[in-house]
Structure 1
């Protein structure tokens, strides 16, 4: 199949899609809505999980980008948000790389504080302290109270 250079990206995608499984869903309004809702739910859950994971060690931003990519398969706004988020994430990383080691250490300490406070609020310190027989009141979560 020969593509015209002047053909837009959307026209090429529509041409490829006309033969794919997604085309069959788009022809049926009920299937199309079900598919879009499913993509929205799955993408939304992945996105929320990624946002929750951002301050913690691990793949938080990767999961955020994955959630947005899932949503972008069906929603144009998610594609725009994905490009925006990638651009600002890359800018943040580039800025952080240019900083003095003291600024990098401050960012690391702030991240550690966010993790520690969240663990305390969720009762993780009380739980682990209980494993070692430490029943100190300050380990208990102010949200969930004491273990007992």
Structure 2
């Protein structure tokens, strides 16, 4: 008797490990070497710390401030339990604050937008951006000069 055949094509990915499985295997290989493991944890700490620091600095400005904070904690949480706990806590607090902020209605949202705009303008002035751009077009107004960049 002949062997029965099926009409379904063979799954080409059958037997292939998924990315998370390959990553766990890679990480387990590093974990078995103490020196390499220590270096890997330092690298994760440095990269995660830098992303977190940039995120904290950019929170008040339009852009990816909070996303970078969460990304930094996410990177750190891959290796450090304290970062995982902190990430969970920060996410909860962020959601609580944003729910409160949205529940206050349009007056507070408008105030928040105006305050953010004022903070960005003040930062640009302090960094000397306005006097730099004014110099490009030949304007020399004293009030455009930054007290920090004189």
Instruction: Tell me the TM-score range normalised by the shorter chain.
Output: 0.7 to 0.9
Are 1:111 and 2:116 matched, yes or no? yes
Q: What is aligned with 2:73?
A: 68
Superposed, 1:1-148 pairs within 5 Å as: 20-145=25-150
Superposed displacement of residue 111, structure 1: 1.3
| TM-score, L = length of structure 2 | 0.80
Superposed displacement of residue 100, structure 1: 2.9
- Return the alpha-carbon distance in structure 1 between the equivalents of residues 88 and 137 of structure 2: 47
| TM-score, L = length of structure 1 | 0.81
Question: What SS is found at the alignment partner of 1:66?
Answer: helix
Q: What is aligned with 1:6?
A: none
Please give the per-residue CA displacement for 1:20-55, whole angstroms capped at 9, x wherever unaligned.
Answer: 111121111110111011001111111111111111
- Return the alpha-carbon distance in structure 1 between the equivalents of residues 89 and 120 of structure 2: 26
Unaligned stretches of 5+ residues in structure 2: 1-20
Unaligned stretches of 5+ residues in structure 1: 1-15
Runs of 4+ more than 6 Å apart = none
- Return the alpha-carbon distance in structure 1 between the equivalents of residues 121 and 85 of structure 2: 34
* Aligned-pair Cα RMSD in Å: 1.8
- Return the alpha-carbon distance in structure 2 between the equivalents of residues 48 and 91 of structure 1: 23
